[in-house]
Amino acid sequence: MPIELKVPEIGESITEVEIGAWLKRPGDIVRKDEPIVTLESEKATVELASPDSGTMAQILKEKGAVAKVGEVIAYVQSGGPATGTPKAAESKASPEKAAPKPEIKPEEAPVPPRVMPAAQMALEQHGLSAEAVRGTGPGGRILKEDVLRELQEDRPETPATPSHEPSPAPPSTPPGLSGNREEEIVPMSRLRRTVAERLVEAQHNAALLTTFNEIDMGSVIALRKEYGDSFQKKYEVKLGFMSFFVKACVDALKQFPALNARVQGANIVYHNYYDIGVAVGSGKGLVVPILRNAEGMSFAEIEVAVGDFGRRAKENKLKLEELQGGTFTISNGGVYGSLLSTPIINPPQSGILGLHAIQDRPVAREGNVVIRPMMYIALTYDHRLVDGREAVSFLKRIKDVLENPARMLMEI
């Protein structure tokens, strides 16, 4: 019997989702708990699994459609592969498609031509079919020029008639530009739209200011070199830089609690715990999973958690609850080569620490010029809660802790 595939409750604040990629099509065999479709919410991308083994019967909502929580988006014919052929299951779900179709070999299947947006408008305007036009663009794409050329070749020559109306000048190509200059319009994913909205919200609703400092990373690098092998042997994870910065942030946030707080109406909410968000790149945009109670985590626990976040972010397998909340955020643009930037806070947080690339630079030490591995750090903060003195002192504390990491207990 057909089973309804409904949009599950993803989070208490999420009422609808956008249908992502369908991993199964009608007629495909599915197994119980096998992912069938991806659902994109405003906070995360999740996979919806099949409730039972059987055959994919019918899809009601295609990719890009919006569906509400609890809405039926597809049917699965239960009973396992032995209950019938995929075509039979599809016929039961869709009677109008039950008529047999001639078999088309893969090499004989027609490939629909790629049509650029301007060319599509020209086709519709003149009532032409895309199959009647030979595309000259990359990969055989049909350009507007191809449609106009086809119209010109098919148009019979007619004697010129006098006209008192001035003829419009043909569009000219700017000098120096030649070839096919095509564009492609792709809709934003729901996650990308939400990220954009939150960034604009942060700019409009907070008094943002950024302060900078620089850190000599030589001591941390030497410590990693000295203890890295024994750390990895004991904990089976590499000793990275992020655990040092998480530890340093927790230390500094304890001294400057306004950076671990948020504005709530006319009040300030101070958090007596430290949920540190770590910004990681995913296939569909930046996400910020949370290290809960980071003040109680060891170096190894932090490294394991951050590595796991990074892997699952690329696979779009982060859970919604892992992305909610957070009292402070760390964003490492240095992994992409950024030398200096001004990060934007993640509302309703009041601060974000931006890390950058480590670069050998000449600096003065005891009257001499030496080459040291230096990193610029940036703190963007909400000036409604945090004064400039606190922000500068916070960064100075981060600098002091990381240039003298022995004060942090190494758990190896």
Is residue 379 pLDDT above 60, yes or no?
Answer: yes
pTM of the model: 0.64
| Residue 171 CB burial class (10 angstroms; 0-12, 13-18, ≥19) | exposed
Is residue 167 pLDDT above 70, yes or no?
Answer: no
Q: Which of 320, 331, 245, 243 is nearest to 286 (CA)?
A: 331
Average pLDDT, the chain: 83
At 88-103, the pLDDT tens digits run 444 444 444 444 554 5
- Please indicate whether residue 137 or residue 395 has the higher confidence score (pLDDT): 395
* Token reading at 113: 């031509």
At 177-233, the pLDDT tens digits run 666 777 878 777 777 777 778 778 888 888 999 999 999 999 999 999 999 999 999
Strands 351-365 and 328-332: parallel
At 265-295, the pLDDT tens digits run 999 999 999 999 999 987 667 789 999 999 9
What domains lie within the chain, and their CATH numbers?
2-94 (2.40.50.100), 208-407 (3.30.559.10)
- Cβ count near 384 (within 10 Å): 13
Q: Which residues belong to the active site?
A: 383, 387
* Token reading at 27: 């007629």
Is residue 161 pLDDT above 50, yes or no?
Answer: no
At 315-332, the pLDDT tens digits run 878 888 898 889 999 999
| Non-local CB neighbours of 74 within 8 Å, separated by 6+ positions | 5, 36, 37, 56, 57, 58, 59, 60, 61
